Structures are given as structure tokens and as C-alpha cells.
């Protein structure tokens, strides 16, 4: 599956920062039970790769990717851990080349029109718009829709259940990313029922 096919599976991609290995599988199971199958595990913690590997092995309905991938070395580590895709907050020529060489689908981040154009030149058609809210949010996406007509975006950063519908109503939005359905206090309390409810509310968001 390429990024476009993965984005078509879900309106919302949970962005998960897992601090303890023990929560990885129950967290992923709660999200999948709620209807969110596509999961992004950020490589921001010491257990992230191990957590990713465990979810790949134990939660077969999940489509698991690695987030916060900053370079080719991390991309390769994610691929070896079983990631089906990678997400980066921005992009570099080295990371784009590593993704092309490995074949692992990459959702690269952009903040500007020039960055989007550079990645389009390399063949990317779906880009992460990050950080979405601080960088112009809905207004930015609406403004670039005509000039960047061949591109679609996964806005991430500062989006919640209340603001996601407006993003999903835009034709150039493929899906949105966010962490709101897996709050840190719910993970710490192992309140999987709450996370399942939050996931279900996110999964029920509709594209027009």
C-alpha cells in the first residue's frame, strides 16, 4: 500500500508517543477496537521501535507506521521493525532518497509551498502539513488547493475532534493526524475503554 491507499483507510491517524513497552499492545488494541486501524508510533522514546515491533506482531488488524523519522537510518530501523510506512515532520534530500531506495512509503512533512513543490518534483503526491495549526491550518490548505492542485495533505499538529471535521471537508485533505484520542493521562491510567471511545468518535468522522 502506498501512502494514498493507507490514508484512504481512515479519516484520522493517531500519533502515538509510547513511553512504556507494557502499554503498547493494549493501547493499539483499544484504538483498533474503536475503529482506527492506521497507527503512527513516533520514534521519540527509547521503547518506540520495540513497541512498534510488538504491535506489528500482536495486533494484526493495525497498519503500523513509524513517526518522527528524521533520517535514513531511522527509516531503515522502522522498516526492519515491521513498519508499513514512515512519517517525517519535514524532509531532507537524504531522507527522500532513503525512502525511494528502501521502498518504504514515506509521508514527508512540509510547512511551505516551496517544500511541497520540491517533494512533488520527487514524485510525492501526499504530504504531511506540519505543524498544521501554527502554520496556517485551514486557511493555508484552502489557499494552496488551486496552485498545488496535484497534491493532498495530512494536516497534523494542534488538531482535535472539534476541528478535524473542517479539515476533512477539504478536497485536498487525505486524512488528519493527531494525538487527542490517546491522551497521556488515559494511557497512564490504562483507561483503554476511554481511549476506545475517543477512537470511535474519531473513526466516525466522515469525509464529505
Q: Record the cell numbers describing residue 46, joined without a space.
A: 527509547
Reported as type and span, the H/E element at residue 38 is strand 38-42
Q: Within 10 A of 103 (CB to CB), how many other CB atoms are there?
A: 8
Select which of 58, 115, 121, 128 is catalytic: 128
Helices 192-203 and 21-34, interaxial angle, to 10°?
A: 40
Residue 179 found at the interface with ligand 3PG (CB under 6 A): yes
Q: Count residues binding ligand 3PG (CB under 6 A).
A: 9
In this complex, which beta carbon is closest to ligand 3PG, that of residue 102 or of residue 183? Answer: 183
In this complex, which beta carbon is closest to ligand 3PG, that of residue 137 or of residue 157? Answer: 157
In this complex, which beta carbon is closest to ligand 3PG, that of residue 102 or of residue 133? Answer: 133
- Convert residues 123-162 into a mask of x (bound to ligand 3PG by CB under 6 A) and - (unbound): ---------------------------------xxxx---
Shortest spacing between CB 163 and ligand 3PG, in angstroms: 10
Reported as type and span, the H/E element at residue 87 is strand 85-87
40 is catalytic: yes
Q: Record the cell numbers describing residue 199, joined without a space.
A: 477512537
How far is Cα 91 from Cα 94, in angstroms, rounded to an integer? 8
Helix (H, G, I), strand (E, B) or coil at 21: helix
In this complex, which beta carbon is closest to ligand 3PG, that of residue 108 or of residue 177? Answer: 177
Shortest spacing between CB 138 and ligand 3PG, in angstroms: 15
Of 58, 79, 63, 89, give the one whose Cα is nearest residue 155: 89
Q: Record the cell numbers describing residue 202, joined without a space.
A: 474519531
128 is catalytic: yes
Residue 15 found at the interface with ligand 3PG (CB under 6 A): yes
Q: Which residues sit at the interface with ligand 3PG, rule CB under 6 A?
A: 15, 156-159, 177-180
Amino acid at each position: 500500500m502506498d501512502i494514498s491507499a493507507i490514508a484512504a483507510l481512515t479519516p484520522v491517524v493517531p500519533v502515538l508517543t509510547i513511553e512504556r513497552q507494557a502499554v503498547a499492545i493494549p493501547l493499539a488494541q483499544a484504538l483498533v477496537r474503536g475503529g482506527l486501524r492506521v497507527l503512527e508510533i513516533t520514534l521519540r522514546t527509547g521503547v518506540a521501535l520495540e513497541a512498534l515491533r510488538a504491535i506489528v506482531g500482536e495486533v494484526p488488524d493495525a497498519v503500523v507506521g513509524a513517526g518522527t523519522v528524521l533520517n535514513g537510518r531511522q527509516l531503515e530501523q522502522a522498516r526492519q521493525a515491521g513498519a508499513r510506512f514512515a512519517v517525517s515532520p519535514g524532509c531532507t534530500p537524504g531522507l527522500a532518497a532513503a525512502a525511494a531506495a528502501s521502498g518504504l512509503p514515506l509521508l514527508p512533512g512540509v510547512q511551505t509551498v516551496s517544500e511541497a513543490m520540491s517533494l512533488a518534483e520527487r514524485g510525492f503526491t501526499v504530504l504531511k502539513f506540519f505543524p498544521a495549526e501554527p502554520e496556517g491550518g485551514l486557511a493555508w490548505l484552502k489557499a494552496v488547493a488551486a496552485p498545488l492542485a496535484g497534491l493532498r495533505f495530512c494536516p497534523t499538529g494542534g488538531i482535535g475532534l472539534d476541528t478535524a471535521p473542517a479539515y476533512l471537508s477539504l478536497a485536498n485533505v487525505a486524512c488528519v493526524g493527531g494525538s487527542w484520542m490517546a491522551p497521556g493521562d488515559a494511557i497512564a491510567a490504562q483507561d483503554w475503554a476511554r481511549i476506545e471511545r475517543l477512537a470511535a468518535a474519531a473513526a466516525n468522522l466522515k469525509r464529505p
